[in-house]
A and B are shown apart, each in its own frame.
Chain A
Amino acid sequence: MTASPRVRARRRLAAFRITVFVVLGAFFVVPLLSMASFSVRVPARGRTLDYWKQLGENPELRSAIVTSLELAALTVALMLVLLVPTMVWVRLRVPGLSRIVEFLCLLPLTIPAIVLVVGLEGVYAWVTYFFGDSSLTLTFAYTVLVLPYAYRSIDAGLASIDVVTLSEAARSLGASWFTVIVRIIVPNIGSALLSAAFISVALVLGEFTIASLLNYENLQVVINLLGKSDAQTAVAASLASLLFAFVLLVLLSFVGRRSSRRVTATVAPAPATSTTTPREA
């Protein structure tokens, strides 16, 4: 008797879900399809892939793509070098500081890019003084930018293993701190590091505001310039970078799913006697 209203409710929910999915899907897909169609059409002459070929041939675009990829790689490297040892150290030695570190890492999320740039301008006077004015110096700004996302991801990875016990075991077997991080911690949070890297790459490839306001040339800045002279190629480039980011995010979700399965399989059950000291947990 109660089943039929419940079934009806479930059907209504399913219908609602499908509607939402279709509307949102259209919202995302229609612009992409329009971009795709725009990027292969020559007014009054039919279709062509010339604009897509331009991606590899237009020298400015090509160098911007290279720059952005280099920026992505450097940002990932700097982010990992800064975050992993710091976060491991905080967990092991000064767990009391973890709240402060988390706050600092999440801070960039709350600061609008414009505001960030105003602050960064002063800093970049020095950055330019020390590192020259290559676009690659954007690495520093971008590392700050990706911090919140990377922090979240790595933090989840570290939470899934018993960092304290594993590193103490390794220490007692003769491992230096460097060895502990490189040979014990990193291999066990591999998928968390990978997802931190992916999301950083996606962010860097799509970044426009900071680069533009600081007068550097990255992919999005060049696409924007190009849009004024050669709209089709610009759209092709935008679409390509969007698709690339999309592929990265899909990969990311796979990595995330696989790692969660592995974690449940490998993490030891909690000891039967629970203790109050966090150290022993």
Chain B
Amino acid sequence: MVTTSATRTGLEVRLDELRRSFGGVPALDGLSLTLGQGELVALLGPSGCGKTTALRIVAGLDEPDSGRVVVDGDDVTTLPASKRDMGMVFQAYSLFPHMTAQQNVEFGLKLRGQDGGQRRTRSIEMLELVGLSDQKDKFASQMSGGQQQRVALARALAIEPSVLLLDEPLSALDAKVRAQLRDEIRRVQLEVGTTTLFVTHDQEEALAIADRVGVMNRGRLEQLDAPEVLYSRPASAFVAGFVGLMNRVPTTVTGGTADVLGSRVGTLDGSIAEGQGDALVRPEQLTVAAAPGATSTVVHLSFLGSYSRITIRQAGGVELLAQVPAATVSDLTVGTAVTVSLLARTVLVASSDA
């Protein structure tokens, strides 16, 4: 669909030891991250961990106290935002209210001195890319939130940015539109091949959209890996806890193995070496079976289509959440005595207070 930029490959972008503090409190505490050419990296972390600050520094809207931003080998740290050629989509709706969708998309092209004909062709092409060419004469006030964010995406991409920066672009939208637009952003990004940094606090969003996900905590990167790796081999308790639901099962580590729910399993890198801790176990790593006389009971059951979520209370009062194929637990109801066992061969064991 887009002929002008489909052949372009993205540029490599490097964030190098970025530090930034506000009133003595560090928002970024030595953030380093390299985005490969055309790669989509999601920065994932709780609110206030420094994601927006990082993005603004990359965009040139804020300056780091120290550290560098390098695009395609060039240090752009001191370049003003208007000279960086970076497309940005904001969390808040940011279309210029006095311009139509098309005029919004043309704005950056106008500033680059393109003539009217070129601008029109390019802006229509971009609006087509986001599926909104029929809305080109509408003002922001006449469009839904999702449409506004699509136009904002088209506007950011129209200038053929070296990097695309997205700061929680979906967080103001309702769930259904959010999932749809998320997939659309990914499709468009693959189509134009622009290196992209996508910031979000929603782990599902990050895992669904990104080539690699960087989990941030307190201004630092805790782990940067492909979604599958992040999910199956979290590098720290924070990552494990933040990415997906997580059970904490008290256990003791001896000689590199731990006894979890009756199975002896290996421990992942990053686990405590020896002694008492909590095994971090995902709901889908558990199986549940009815067992008359067992000490654990089902306290809650929710049917979610092809699978069920079951809350089990163990003898000691500890609750576990299991997620299993619905067909395998059709015989369970609230109050059924059950045994819970572990499917995984290795687990991450964190110290109990981490």
Known: A188-B98, A268-B145. A174 touches B108 (CB 8 A): yes
CB pair A173–B108 under 8 Å, yes or no, is yes
Q: Smallest Cβ distance from B260 to chain A, in angstroms?
A: 36
Closest to B81 in A: A171
A230 at interface by CB-CB < 8 Å: no
Known: A184-B96, A273-B172. A176 touches B82 (CB 8 A): yes
Q: Choose among B59, B96, B112, B145 the residue that contacts A170 (Cβ–Cβ < 8 A).
A: B96
Known: A161-B97, A175-B111, A266-B141. A276 touches B48 (CB 8 A): yes
- Give Cα A187–Cα B152 distance, bound, in whole angstroms: 19
CB pair A280–B87 under 8 Å, yes or no, is no
Closest to B202 in A: A273
B-chain residues with CB within 8 Å of residue A279 when the two chains form the complex = 52
B-chain residues with CB within 8 Å of residue A175 when the two chains form the complex = 82, 107, 111
- Give Cα A171–Cα B152 distance, bound, in whole angstroms: 14
CB contact list, A3-28 vs B, under 8 A: none
CB contact list, B127-152 vs A, under 8 A: 139-141, 145, 148, 152
CB pair B139–A266 under 8 Å, yes or no, is yes
Q: Smallest Cβ distance from B255 to chain A, in angstroms?
A: 46
Q: How large is the interface on B (under 10, 10 to 19, 20 to 34, 35 or more residues)?
A: 35 or more
CB pair B97–A174 under 8 Å, yes or no, is no
CB pair B111–A268 under 8 Å, yes or no, is no
A272 at interface by CB-CB < 8 Å: yes
Closest to B47 in A: A275
B-chain residues with CB within 8 Å of residue A169 when the two chains form the complex = 88, 90, 94, 96, 152, 155
CB pair A267–B96 under 8 Å, yes or no, is no
A269 at interface by CB-CB < 8 Å: yes
Q: Smallest Cβ distance from A178 to chain B, in angstroms?
A: 11
Closest to A174 in B: B111
Q: How large is the interface on A (under 10, 10 to 19, 20 to 34, 35 or more residues)?
A: 20 to 34
A-chain residues with CB within 8 Å of residue B82 when the two chains form the complex = 171-176
Known: A266-B141, A275-B47, A281-B92. A173 touches B111 (CB 8 A): yes
Q: Choose among B84, B97, B112, B168 the residue that contacts A188 (Cβ–Cβ < 8 A).
A: B97
Closest to A169 in B: B94
A-chain residues with CB within 8 Å of residue B95 when the two chains form the complex = 268
Q: Choose among A173, A174, A187, A271 the residue that contacts B171 (Cβ–Cβ < 8 A).
A: A271
Q: Choose among A172, A176, A270, A281 the residue that contacts B59 (Cβ–Cβ < 8 A).
A: A172
- Give Cα A275–Cα B53 distance, bound, in whole angstroms: 13
Query: Beta-carbon contacts of A150-173 to B below 8 Å, as 1s and 0s?
Result: 000000000001100110111111
Q: Choose among B61, B84, B96, B148 the residue that contacts A166 (Cβ–Cβ < 8 A).
A: B96
- Give Cα A273–Cα B168 distance, bound, in whole angstroms: 10
Q: Smallest Cβ distance from B104 to chain A, in angstroms?
A: 9
Q: Smallest Cβ distance from B146 to chain A, in angstroms?
A: 12
CB contact list, B293-333 vs A, under 8 A: none
CB pair B96–A165 under 8 Å, yes or no, is no
A277 at interface by CB-CB < 8 Å: yes
CB contact list, B82-120 vs A, under 8 A: 82-88, 90-98, 107-108, 111-112
Q: Smallest Cβ distance from A139 to chain B, in angstroms?
A: 30
Known: A165-B92, A165-B94, A273-B172. A172 touches B140 (CB 8 A): no
Closest to A171 in B: B81
A86 at interface by CB-CB < 8 Å: no
A179 at interface by CB-CB < 8 Å: yes
A81 at interface by CB-CB < 8 Å: no
CB pair A268–B140 under 8 Å, yes or no, is yes
A44 at interface by CB-CB < 8 Å: no
20 contacts between A and B (CB under 8 A): A161-B97, A165-B90, A166-B94, A169-B152, A172-B59, A172-B81, A172-B84, A172-B86, A172-B88, A173-B155, A174-B159, A188-B97, A267-B97, A268-B92, A269-B172, A271-B91, A272-B172, A272-B174, A273-B172, A276-B47
- Contacts A168-B59, A174-B159, A271-B171 aside, 14 further interface pairs with beta carbons under 8 A come to A165-B92, A168-B61, A169-B88, A172-B60, A172-B61, A172-B84, A172-B88, A184-B96, A188-B96, A268-B92, A268-B93, A269-B93, A271-B92, A273-B171
A-B residue pairs, 9 tightest by C-beta: A268-B93, A173-B108, A271-B172, A266-B141, A169-B94, A266-B97, A172-B88, A171-B81, A174-B111
- Point out residues on A near B: beta carbons under 8 Å: 161-162, 165-166, 168-176, 179, 184, 187-188, 265-273, 275-277, 279-281
- Point out residues on B near A: beta carbons under 8 Å: 47-48, 52, 59-61, 80-88, 90-98, 107-108, 111-112, 139-141, 145, 148, 152, 155-156, 159, 165, 168, 171-174, 201
